[in-house]
Amino acid sequence: MFRATLRPSVDPFWLATSRLSVGDASRGPATPHRYACIERQGAPYYCIDVHLRGDEYAGFEAIEFWNGKLVVGIGEHIHLVALDGEDIVSIDLGAYFGSFLMLADLLLVASAERVFRMAIDGGVVWRSGRLGVDGIVIDAVESYAVHGHGEWDPPDGWRPFKISLSDGMPLGGEEPD
């Protein structure tokens, strides 16, 4: 059984475990922004140093397991790390990470502006058009559609959207910007 937590700092014993690194350590502080600590059966397994660029906004963060991978959303990226640490895929979202929605074979990632559908191997299946400028909320997923709201005029300018689950294109006559 695995367990994962994101921490701003770690005890020294975590620093002695196997270590991985995600993000661009060369464009930000030398100290990681967060540490993703993975336990296996209650014991430290490995630690991931999560680096952000100096200008990267990190208002939201999340960490979960999905289909044999650890998924970390923070800053303007999502990172998918195989549990054995051998395979790491990092996706630049182009805007800050907001949240993700996981189902058995489905991973949807919401950034400040778009929704991304991720493949099990970590690739991007599709990226929606702009659905907002300062936040996306996914309200529901149907067999064919993703329903949500995008913030276009902060603080209260939310507009609903409905996009195709198969390709991220607008449904119902709505056009993304």
Number of C-alpha atoms within 13 angstroms, CB side, residue 41?
0
Which parts of the chain fold into alpha helices (H)? 12-15
Closest to 139 in 3D by CA, of 130, 149, 152, 129: 149
CA 152, CA 48: separation in Å to the nearest integer?
Answer: 35
DSSP type of residue 86: S
pTM: 0.92
CA 84, CA 97: separation in Å to the nearest integer?
Answer: 25
pLDDT digits (tens, 9 = 90+) for 118-143: 998 899 999 999 999 999 999 999 99
Evaluate if residue 145 carries a pLDDT over 90.
yes
Query: Average of pLDDT values for 80-96?
Result: 92
Percent of the chain past pLDDT 90, that is, above it, reads: 78
Cβ atoms < 10 Å from Cβ of 11: 10
pLDDT digits (tens, 9 = 90+) for 5-30: 999 999 888 888 888 999 988 877 78
| Sequence letter at residue 146 | V
